[in-house]
Structure 1
Amino acid sequence: MTLTSEHAWLQRATCDASCVHAGADRPGRRWWVAVRTGMRICAAVSLFSCVWLLAVPMPGRWHVQRAYCRLLLRSFGVRISVSGGPIRNLRGVLVVSGHVSWLDIFTIGAVLPGSFVARADLVDWPALGPVVRLMKVIPIDRGSLRRLPAVVQTVAERLGAGHTVVAFPEGTTWCGLGYGRFRPAMFQAAVNARRPVQPLRLTYRHLDGRLSTVPAFVGDDSLMASIRRVVTARRTVCHVGVESLQLPGEDRRDLAARCETAVRGAASAPATAHALAA
């Protein structure tokens, strides 16, 4: 859900409920949609109840985390297509991408698992709170600029210790048709720790290839409404582009710009609402 901000350092997403359109299913098959939805919900609940296993030290834990996230996504009716560079279990890398949905967490977890920088109030969310604590999420109070340096320091320490950290530099969710600028704050952690950044390009599409806003979590949307759209859609495909690894350099703004260009490609200019929707 988008945070409506009174703070100048936070960008405000222009996306709202009008951006989100549920995926159309084949006519005359409502019975199958109901059956499929019920099966998905049962599978998702069963898998979600086992999420605590990811905190147990075990051989091949990185591969187990990836497999678990893929299975959980499949239970929601989401498939992943990965392209670009090879996927390696790199030590001490900052992973960044655009931010569309709560699905982003599991999508990235299926490719490059790590601890996430996420809004602090997630700890208080029903069902998600225990998972957030279990996954050692780094909480950020997006309404408090004075606490930002401490978060950056925490991220730098984890990177320096060889851990993978995932951040969403836009600072809020967008619908997937519009998007925001990458803010440079989190990139300072990579500069301080002298660790590289791995940009990922996430694009959600319908089964027929059209861009999809079904997973979007924006405006006044509720988590349950967003989940309902995803599980009732015929199928959602997330294309994950593994872009070139970026060395930190000395300037966080330059690093942020390079990563944004890698993630957005030729469309890295500021998001002018929904020009991509045409």
Structure 2
Amino acid sequence: MSARLRIAFVIAVLAVTTLVLLPVQALAMAFGWRLANKIPMIWQRVAAKVAGIRVHIAGTPSPERPLLLVSNHVSWADITVLGSVLPLSFIAKSEVKGWPVFGWLAVLQRTVFVKRHARGETGRQNDAIAARLTAGDVMVLFAEGTTSDGNEIRPYKTALIGAAQSALRNSESESLQVQPVIVAYTHSNGFPLGRSGRPLAAWPGDVELTPHLARFLVEGRVDAIVAFGHPIRFSAGSNRKFVAKQCEMEARRLLAEALAGKLETKRC
């Protein structure tokens, strides 16, 4: 299949899928149906299939709620990879809401948008995230605050982990689960990507989205691993900086093992 034909095929399939699911999702969000959590996962699974992303899972997401997943961030594809594994919503920078197509899809994913550099907004933003956690929604925080090259973990930022403490203040729970998770891109068309090849999937902030997206789709088949670490019980007295460091250390371990092929995985 030629590059242009493949891209046209992906766009056509996702357009039809969106047109079918959009009215249902709009109703589910308007009336607060739990179905609103599951429809985005269906969309992301279709997107992963047609885009050629094969998702492999290591470990298990915690069944306990409230649950905050603390993840690394490599690419726009992380949304599809993580979103295809279980019903969840994301915490994203406010600029994403204004992106063509992706911003609209983020809204339908029930994303919470935050202003990362507005310190005066942190309390209000934490409360918004906490409300979703308290309601039982699984939320994903990209703790690095930006994308990486896929070969390493950047230092984790701690401010929004304070949402976990806000959730405890607004619920009857004595504690909640903070669980580290990583996304690793390991193979392309069956061949290991390697350190120099991993930027195929990685999307650093200074790279234009459209050309990168086109190159990714033309590639054909990319394998991604989602690895869940050990959940951390977070209580009102927990130190968010310490918890963030624990998540970062666990993420470094998981990423190193994923890239070295040492994790036992299963297909999503």
Q: Do the aligned partners of residues 50 and 261 (structure 1) sit closer, same or farther apart at CA in structure 2, a change above 3 Å counting?
A: farther
Q: Do the aligned partners of residues 223 and 49 (structure 1) sit closer, same or farther apart at CA in structure 2, a change above 3 Å counting?
A: farther
Distance 2:160 2:103 in 1: 23
- Structure 1 residue 229: deviation in Å? 1.5
- What is the root-mean-square deviation of aligned Cα atoms in Å? 2.5
Once the two structures are overlaid, the 10-residue window that deviates more, 155-164 or 169-178, is 155-164
Q: Could you give the per-residue CA deviations for residues 234-268 of structure 1, whole angstroms, max 9, x where no partner exists?
A: 31111111222111141101111111122211779
Once the two structures are overlaid, the 10-residue window that deviates more, 36-45 or 155-164, is 36-45
Contact 2:71–2:180 (Cα < 8 Å) also in 1: yes
Q: Which has the higher helix share?
A: 2
| 1:199-210 map, 5 Å | 199-206=180-187, 207-210=190-193
Q: Could you give the per-residue CA deviations for residues 19-62 of structure 1, whole angstroms, max 9, x where no partner exists?
A: xxxxxxxxxxxx65554444333323333444524454367665
Q: Do the aligned partners of residues 124 and 251 (structure 1) sit closer, same or farther apart at CA in structure 2, a change above 3 Å counting?
A: same
Contact 1:191–1:251 (Cα < 8 Å) also in 2: no
What's the counterpart of residue 265 of structure 1? 253
Q: Do the aligned partners of residues 44 and 60 (structure 1) sit closer, same or farther apart at CA in structure 2, a change above 3 Å counting?
A: closer
Matched, 1:71 2:52: no
Distance 2:87 2:132 in 1: 14
Indicate which of 154, 160, 168 corresponds to 2:142. 168
Matched, 1:42 2:17: no
What's the counterpart of residue 82 of structure 2? 108
Indicate which of 138, 161, 165 corresponds to 1:187. 161
Distance 2:181 2:47 in 1: 20
| 1:20-59 map, 5 Å | 32-52=2-22, 53-57=24-28
Q: Do the aligned partners of residues 213 and 157 (structure 1) sit closer, same or farther apart at CA in structure 2, a change above 3 Å counting?
A: same
Q: Do the aligned partners of residues 119 and 50 (structure 1) sit closer, same or farther apart at CA in structure 2, a change above 3 Å counting?
A: farther
Write the letter of the residue equivalent to 1:233.
Answer: E
Write the letter of the residue equivalent to 2:92.
Answer: A
- Structure 1 residue 162: deviation in Å? 2.0
- Structure 1 residue 132: deviation in Å? 2.5
Q: Do the aligned partners of residues 50 and 106 (structure 1) sit closer, same or farther apart at CA in structure 2, a change above 3 Å counting?
A: farther
Q: TM-score, normalised by structure 2?
A: 0.78
Contact 2:21–2:39 (Cα < 8 Å) also in 1: no
Distance 1:91 1:267 in 2: 25
Q: Which has the higher strand share?
A: 2
- Structure 1 residue 135: deviation in Å? 2.6
Q: Could you give the per-residue CA deviations for residues 129-149 of structure 1, whole angstroms, max 9, x where no partner exists?
A: 322333332111123222122
- Structure 1 residue 172: deviation in Å? 0.8
Contact 1:93–1:197 (Cα < 8 Å) also in 2: yes
Distance 1:50 1:103 in 2: 22
Write the letter of the residue equivalent to 1:149.
Answer: G
| 1:122-141 map, 5 Å | 122-141=96-115
What's the counterpart of residue 172 of structure 2? none
SS of the residue 1:186 aligns to: helix
SS of the residue 2:234 aligns to: coil
Contact 1:44–1:76 (Cα < 8 Å) also in 2: no
Matched, 1:84 2:49: no
Task: State, as a whole percentage, how many aligned pairs show the same letter.
Answer: 26
Distance 2:222 2:74 in 1: 13
Q: Do the aligned partners of residues 228 and 243 (structure 1) sit closer, same or farther apart at CA in structure 2, a change above 3 Å counting?
A: same
Distance 2:179 2:86 in 1: 9
Distance 2:25 2:65 in 1: 18
